[in-house]
Amino acid sequence: MFDFTPLYRSTVGFDRLAQMLGEASNIDAPTYPPYNIERVGENEYRITMAVAGFSEDDIAIEIKENALTVAAGKPRTGNGDREFLHQGIAARSFERRFQLADHVEVTGASLENGLLHISLKRELPEAMKPRKIAITGAKAPKTIEGKKAA
């Protein structure tokens, strides 16, 4: 367990972040299906998940509050006349959750060659974008013909 007390001393408004980090350290993360998270631009990201054996109809992507959930399941049907001597391709149901930062939106999803790509973009509101603050100093007193005013 981590102690986030030093973080609270030097930051303002990050108590939720520290709480989330503390909770995340106590969770055993599932390993199926494997995935990548990559930065593809300054404010653009992509999650890629290996979902071999699943079609678009088998996969559901949902956003609720700041949580992105990807779930997939195949209906249980008999194998018919097929007899597997070895079944190494995992087509088991799964549910994977990703916690999204504020102002991160899903812009699209595609399934290609057994890889599910989910595109994300961070759109900061204008009020939250960095801006310069002018510094004003005390002005020198006005002078009359080179002499200081009384």
Would you list the DSSP string of 55-84?
A: -GGGEEEEEETTEEEEEE-------TT---
User: Over 90: is that where the pLDDT of 129 sits?
Assistant: no
Does 8 lie in the same domain as 78? no
Contacts of residue 43, Cβ cutoff 8 Å, sequence gap at least 6: 121, 122, 123, 124
Domain count, the chain: 2
Range with lowest mean pLDDT among 9-23, 60-74, 122-136: 9-23
| 149 in a structural domain | no
Contacts of residue 54, Cβ cutoff 8 Å, sequence gap at least 6: 72, 74, 91, 111, 116
**Residue 72 exposed, middle or buried by CB count within 10 Å (0-12, 13-18, 19+):** buried
Task: Quick: pLDDT tens for 50-82.
Answer: 998 888 999 999 999 888 999 998 766 655 677
Return mean pLDDT, the chain. 77
User: Over 70: is that where the pLDDT of 43 sits?
Assistant: yes
| 150 in a structural domain | no
| 147 in a structural domain | no
- Residue 112 pLDDT class (50, 70, 90 cuts): very high
Does 56 lie in the same domain as 16? no
- Residue 138 pLDDT class (50, 70, 90 cuts): confident
User: Over 90: is that where the pLDDT of 32 sits?
Assistant: no
Does 80 lie in the same domain as 46? yes
Does 81 lie in the same domain as 112? yes
User: Over 60: is that where the pLDDT of 121 sits?
Assistant: yes
Does 38 lie in the same domain as 104? yes
Contact (CB, 8 A) for 142 and 150:
no
Range with lowest mean pLDDT among 14-28, 103-117, 125-139: 14-28
Tell me the residue range of the domain where 19 lies.
1-29
Does 74 lie in the same domain as 7? no
Find tokens 């959930």 and name the residue.
Answer: 69
The widest CA-to-CA distance across the chain, in whole angstroms, is 107
